[in-house]
Structure 1
Amino acid sequence: MARTHIEYDLSFATPAFVGDAAQQAQWRTPPLKALIRQWWRVVKAPQVSFNVDGPYGLRVHEAQLFGSASDKQANQSLVKLRLQDWAGGRLENSTWPRQEMGKIPLGKPGQVIRADLYLGFGPITPASSKKGLAEQVRRAIDPQKQRNKLSVFFARTATENQIDEVRQAIQLASWFGGIGSRSRNGWGSITLQGDTIPRLPPSPNVLAAYCQPFRGCFTLDRDWPHAIGKDELGPLVWVGRRDGAPFRNWREAVLFLATVRRSVRCAAKRFGRNQDISANQLIAYPVTQSNNGKWGNDERIAGSLRLKVVETGQGLVPVAVHLPCAVPRVLFDKLSSSDQQWINSHQLDIWVAVHRDIDQKMNRLGAAK
């Protein structure tokens, strides 16, 4: 009989802005289940030849495992999560360590910004002199003081293959995932310990089943994060900064991630723009001071480059992973034919430049140091 209950020790390496209904930080299972589902799709996608729809497509398998409430198919989830503690976050605006935050340079000489503001705009709201408003930081789960336990239960009807797929997804989530606001910038970097999960992926070989050549990941039928990219150097996974030294605390780690993100934006920016589209909009959208008249302010492109911090026991280690995918079809179709052609001609070169830039700052997984 398949094992039907697995437990994990749960913690964060960086503050987690995980909001409840009132946008106040609290341990909650829905974002954890959403994270597991995201990485389960990466596990399952190659088994269905990356087909989303159809009688044997990804949606059908996902509904069978995680439940569905649609008119055509309604069934309960075979996976249930339980947290030991549902306490609220303890890191509040009044105790946010502003004075310990490093700063990164912006475009103009002498222009700098605090690393936490740069990575956390939204949950961290800068002061507004025009409105007379002070800076506010939304309450967060404190990575230094708060821990939890996660129990994962499987229905007796779950197959061994389904259970194994979820276990693989949880392993990937622990290596590369985060939850809450701005988690792709490194906030809410989650650690799930137990079930023999190593803190970091031990070699590129363990990721082989989840990787695809990144140059083939931009077809319009793959406009969702379906695989970890790889190039001639291996998986597009970076672990640790170039000198190999871990960070002593999350403030140092956030400063480094902010430096990486800023540098990536600069590397893309060198490719400029066409009519409505710019290189930086392909990294993530919206972009400050880079409008797209066809998309407006309400559309979103989630960043396919994910930043993460991992607690190794000897210190904090930065991690980056790229899950390349096409511009969402609904947004691509809104662009002019000139902008569409510009994307098709430039997006590979833009991402090659981004990868090379990260190679200068971090170590490729498995590369000789």
Structure 2
Amino acid sequence: MAGLILDRVTKRFGDAAPVVDRVSLDVADGEFLAILGPSGCGKTTLLRLIAGFERPTEGAIRLGERLVADAGTHVQPEDRQVGIVFQSYALWPHMSVGENVGYPLRTRGIRGAEYKRQVAAALDTVGLGAVADRRPASLSGGQRQRVALARCLAMSPGLVLLDEPLANLDVHLKASLLDQFQHFRARTGATMLYITHDQSEAMALADRIAVMAHGRVEQLAAPETLYRSPATEFVADFIGMGGVVEAILPEPAAAGQAWVEIAGHRALVRAAPGQAAGAARLCLRPEDLALATEGLPARCRRARYQGGEWLVELTVDGQDERELQMLAKPGTVPEPGAAVRVRITDGWVIPQSC
């Protein structure tokens, strides 16, 4: 059964271009889907449409089998059985931690011993049972985000929306809360939609990722597929530390592979079945490249030390505006401006670029 269905959902504000443009998604019950994209791509507006804070201009939204929004239907947010964890935590400052967690229970008329049991269970799940009587202002940012998770857990929602929940936290707290999200998912079995601009978070958590740009979904796929086989040049540039260069396919792809020619160098790379011969663009990840005595002619732009290895930025001869990145061990790093040769060990012909 589907946990969430979006059917050609569009949102316009006035006469401006659509902020969300004909987005269709089918999220399975219990699936963890990340919506990933840069600022302004429409991902937060999409979350607000699903939550019920905005009405779609066109299209329909279903939670399970239930229609909650279309041209003539709008179910209010409080009636959608959707839990939301905000970037800003959205905790009531005048309530204790326990009262914040119990708020959705009180709105449903749960009182007495059952109320106390559910609040305690939710706080114990996120490791905060000892702070139930404290105010949110006395907690750290990571603790407040866990309180927000506990409040969501207490609701027993069928769908959980997470709106950039780690954006305000340092790297160590992020790592801890990534574990909390995984535990939360295992505990509830809820369908989860995670809004973020941070691809490392999306890659670590999601079953699938929808990459958005200019209000549209560029590609929806598992994290590994997005990284190794991006469908568009935008996805290739946005995901990972890869680069895109211009190439020629002298003949059509066969058996998932194709020969490409770049700056007079020839290499065998991966390609979608049916990829036609002619001009194309090639995605090359840092691990796809290595210094060699013969290979693709390039020039070192600069190198950055990253602990144990260097990230070398390169430009291909004749394509100075296009940058590649390569990993190099200490002692093998070329000087800025040096001419080098690079061996291509793998790569991916972007299907929509030819």
Normalised-by-shorter TM-score class: under 0.3
Higher strand share: 2
- TM-score (ref. length: structure 2): 0.24
Q: Larger radius of gyration, structure 1 or 2? A: 2
- TM-score (ref. length: structure 1): 0.24
Higher helix share: 1
